[in-house]
Amino acid sequence: MALEGTFKDFPISDILQLIGLQGKTGVLSLEREGQQVKVFFAEGKVAWAEDTLRDPEMRLGVLLTKSCKLERAQLEEALARQKDTKERLGSILLQMGVVNALELEEALSRQIFETVAQVFRWKEGRYRFSSLRSLDLKERLVNTLAVENLLLDAMRMIDEWPLIESQLPSFESILMVAENREERQPPGRSEEERIVLGLVDGTRTLRDIVENSPLTDFDTCKTVAQYLRSGVLQVRTRVVPESCEIVPVAASASSGKNMIPLALVLAGLLLLAVNLLSARSSLFPLLPFVPLPGKEATLASVYRAQSEVEGWRMALDRFYAQWGRWPHTLEELGEKEVGMRLQEKDPWGNRYRYRREGEGYVLSSPGEDGIDGSDDDIRGGGLLGEPGRATKLRE
């Protein structure tokens, strides 16, 4: 029995959750005018995704070259071989020995995520899910992806993008590194974030940086926005007539002080919408699945906690940019008028944990069980060598 309708009838996030929670196998076709995306499920997990507007083989090659895992000449050689053998590009690259299995899987996972995540930006469309007894994908080279993780990342993008976009200049703007960047840059940045900073040379536009970054477009823009906000980067002024006077725009430590509440409001509205739609979904008469409200509620709570941990981390970054140190307690953020009105307790009623550690800090929620150090903890931090973003410990 096929499940079909429009996005107005049943939102795509609910469809993905139901397929994942019920462990279904089949193909979900998502369509809008001029474009079709197919998502292949194996026992409730995403096994593959295709887009009619993007050649999956070429997209894989682009991702590998952007991440410096593959040279252009090697890609052209592999594509030439593919014309003769008709094999998948990934298999050919492995045979050539130019990429290893882990590098290939990372690129394919990213390709699947980007293909599915774009659908969340569609304003309208239709869907149809067709159940299958089994899924036979030729030369499967990537492990299946959990719907829960895909949804969390996609919902994070939906929630955070308006805030990030408001802090970015035009994509044609040229970025440069501030003279006092070492004083303003907090420790604990990830290697990928440092790579993004290395792409800024005073001649590249924001668009150039995004296109050459090994990170996703979203994460690259987010990293650039953070650097602008802390004053590490600034917009380079172009040459203009003498009659015009333009001052370089640098993001101060206090820029965006009023943005965090907006982000939390957006997160709250999104979660409210999810809850309302989930309630309506359980009454939809033609569904062949039965929603599981408990698991859906847990997913929403985890997402909310991740958003709040990320909000605290952004406030801590601003504190560091202004004072050159991390605060001793979260309350100190308010004392220095740098912190935002963030939630002191997580969705399960536990206070967020914060402690100094070495040259950085650890920030966490003990999760639903309320026990520190357990599998469901949600952590963010500014420790050396660790990415400072919220993560859920349990996969």
Q: Is the pLDDT assigned to residue 202 strictly greater than 80?
A: yes
How far is 100 from 80, CA to CA, in rounded Å? Answer: 20
pLDDT at site 129:
94
Q: How far from chain centre, in Å, is Cα 62?
A: 19
Band the pLDDT of 173: cuts 50, 70, 90.
very high
Length of the chain: 395
How far is 323 from 380, CA to CA, in rounded Å? Answer: 20
Instruction: Give ∠ CA 268-270-271 in degrees, rounded to 5.
Output: 65
Per cent of the chain over pLDDT 90 is: 14
Q: Is the pLDDT assigned to residue 21 strictly greater than 80?
A: yes
Q: What is the mean pLDDT of residues 204-222?
A: 84
pLDDT at site 188:
57
Q: Is the pLDDT assigned to residue 392 strictly greater than 80?
A: no
Helical packing angle, 293-323 and 259-281, nearest 10° = 170
pLDDT at site 279:
36
pLDDT at site 191:
75
Q: Is the pLDDT assigned to residue 171 strictly greater than 50?
A: yes
Q: Which residue has the higher pLDDT, 275 or 14?
A: 14
Q: Is the pLDDT assigned to residue 240 strictly greater than 80?
A: no
Q: Is the pLDDT assigned to residue 245 strictly greater than 70?
A: no
Write out pLDDT tens, residues 89-146: 888 999 999 988 888 888 888 888 888 988 887 888 999 999 998 877 665 667 888 8
Contact criterion met (CB below 8 Å) for 389 and 310: yes
Give the contacts of 282 (CB within 8 A, at least 6 positions apart).
Answer: 291, 293
pLDDT at site 300:
58
Q: Is the pLDDT assigned to residue 216 strictly greater than 50?
A: yes
pLDDT at site 393:
39
Lowest mean pLDDT among 164-168, 248-252, 261-265: 248-252
Band the pLDDT of 394: cuts 50, 70, 90.
very low
Q: What is the mean pLDDT of the chain?
A: 74
Q: What is the mean pLDDT of residues 206-226?
A: 85
pLDDT at site 381:
54
Q: What is the mean pLDDT of residues 319-340?
A: 71
* Residue 61 CB-density burial (10 A; 0-12 exposed, 13-18 middle, 19+ buried): buried
Q: How do 35-42 and 145-146 pair as beta strands?
A: unpaired
Write out pLDDT tens, residues 22-67: 899 999 999 998 889 999 999 999 998 988 887 777 778 877 877 7
pLDDT at site 238:
61
**Residues β-bridged to residue 50:** 38
Full set of structural domains in the chain with CATH: 2-158 (no CATH), 167-235 (1.10.10), 299-382 (3.30.700.10)
How far is 340 from 327, CA to CA, in rounded Å? Answer: 14
User: How many CA atoms lie within 13 Å of 311's alpha carbon, on the beta-carbon side?
Assistant: 31
Band the pLDDT of 390: cuts 50, 70, 90.
very low
pLDDT at site 321:
77
**Residues β-bridged to residue 131:** 26
